[in-house]
Amino acid sequence: MNELLMPAGSIEKMKYAFAYGADAVYLGLVDFSLRALRKGELIDENNLKDAVNIANSLNKKVYCTLNIFAYDKDIEKLYQTIDIIKEAKPHALIISDFGIFRVIKKEIPDIDIHVSTQTNILNSQTVKFWQDLGATRAILARELSYKQIEKIRKNCPDMELEMFVHGAQCMGYSGRCLLSDYMTDGKRQANQGNCAQACRWSYKLLEETRPNEYFEIIQDDKGSHIMSTKDLCLVHHIKKLCDLGIDSFKIEGRTKSLYYVSAVAKTYRQVIDNKIDTNLAFEELKKVGNRGYTEGFFLGNNNSQSYSYDISKGLAGADFLGICQKQIDDNTFEFLIKNKILLNDEIEIITPNYATLARVVKINHSKKGEVDCANTNDEINLTFDFDDNNWIKEKDYALIRTKGMKEFK
């Protein structure tokens, strides 16, 4: 089976990832993850077991990330957390540090270990090295081409292989970057889970003999984002990778929105299951936040076109408008609003297996009565005129977004 592996930055996002087609999620304990999250129902020592139990009830899997580059203080903290991990029983641990690997093999010898992409797995011998140490899966570096991946698969037939197929990329080699550390005087250490994403900042050029004379490296009205990579998207190659025998397709994005996780999971699920054409899938993926898409190193010709020189922040072709809370009557539903909605707006309703266009025919505020506008963070009743009511079967996971595709200049 070709596993679809989605990020889970919170319990809520994990539930939506599973509903929209993920076979497994990866989530990070706060002190040991490369993504330091700041809001939502974060995964920590208190609810890790709850997350695993939810996954088990759905016949899904949870992989817990312990993939920081660890100092002795981190190892000491790990020993304090070992019993919690043992009790929670995640289906695997994702590890990059040799010290953490050693502790886990000693303290939890029977748990599956997935070796993180942070270890720069670029060749068959590296895969076999980790396999000899007892790892059950190798997460390949993003810097590999298809031909190189094909060779590793051929040479390592009995080792699980996982690879990133979608999401933000790092300008450092397999995530090994010190730019954030330097730019923040060590306060935002990338490989301790707190990257400031300095590669997304706008830069100017200063010639040494001309102090205070700054020159735009790329002259335009959006700045000069000389290190900001485009997002990876290999959706056109999923069938080929399925045939090759890649065990797990990984999506980046533990800090991304619930909408991002849901929409991307749905699209890749449909492609893996041969339910939609990859050209249509690519158009769907444009509707979530992205910095422009690239196939990176996959075709063996990574070049300057893999960098988004004009933008650093992801832009979405559709705006995320709201999350369904409950059904009020046949056509009316309570929504948590994420972006402004106006009366008579045409929108799209999506669920794990359905999508339909709809028009907002009534907006009812609990205190103000009928209004012409629903604002961000309102919990409000929306009445729709919609084309297809099949989506109501999955209303518990229904999301709404703007209709069509925005164009960006």
Q: Where residue 297 falls among pLDDT bands split at 50, 70, 90?
A: confident
Residue 36 has pLDDT above 60, yes or no: no
For 362, the token pair is 């009534």
Q: 392: which residues sit within 8 A by CB, 6+ positions away?
A: 327
Provide mean pLDDT across the span 206-217.
60
For 215, the token pair is 């020159």
Residue 409 has pLDDT above 50, yes or no: no
For 189, the token pair is 């250490």
Residue 252 has pLDDT above 70, yes or no: yes
> In this predicted structure, which of 49-63, 164-178, 343-357, 375-389 has the lowest mean pLDDT?
164-178
Q: Name the residue with higher pLDDT: 197 or 235.
A: 235
Instruction: Write down the pLDDT at residue 204.
Output: 60
Residues 156-169: tens digit of each pLDDT = 999 999 999 998 87
Residues 302-326: tens digit of each pLDDT = 665 545 545 555 678 899 999 999 9
Instruction: Write down the pLDDT at residue 132.
Output: 98
Q: Name the residue with higher pLDDT: 178 or 25.
A: 25
Question: What's the CATH number for 320-402?
Answer: 2.40.30.10
CB-based burial label for 386 (10 Å; 0-12, 13-18, 19+): middle
Residue 38 has pLDDT above 80, yes or no: no
Residues 265-281: tens digit of each pLDDT = 999 999 999 999 999 99
Strand partners, 92: 63
Q: Where residue 179 falls among pLDDT bands split at 50, 70, 90?
A: low
Residue 101 has pLDDT above 80, yes or no: yes
DSSP-derived pairing of the beta strands 92-95 and 61-66 = parallel
Q: Name the residue with higher pLDDT: 243 or 34.
A: 243
Q: How far apart are CA 348 and CA 187, in angstroms?
A: 42
Q: Name the residue with higher pLDDT: 40 or 237.
A: 237
Instruction: Write down the pLDDT at residue 337.
Output: 97
Instruction: Write down the pLDDT at residue 80.
Output: 92
For 409, the token pair is 């200049």
Most confident of 43-52, 61-70, 122-131, 214-223: 122-131
> In this predicted structure, which of 216-225, 238-247, 395-404 has the lowest mean pLDDT?
216-225
Q: Where residue 396 falls among pLDDT bands split at 50, 70, 90?
A: very high
Q: What is the mean pLDDT of the chain?
A: 87
Instruction: Write down the pLDDT at residue 219.
Output: 44
Q: Where residue 33 falls among pLDDT bands split at 50, 70, 90?
A: low
- Each domain of the chain, given as residue ranges in start order, spans 3-174+228-306, 320-402
In Å, how far from its chain's centre is CA 99?
Answer: 27
Architecture in CATH for domain 3-174+228-306: Alpha-Beta Barrel (3.20)
Q: Where residue 191 falls among pLDDT bands split at 50, 70, 90?
A: low
Q: Where residue 45 falls among pLDDT bands split at 50, 70, 90?
A: confident
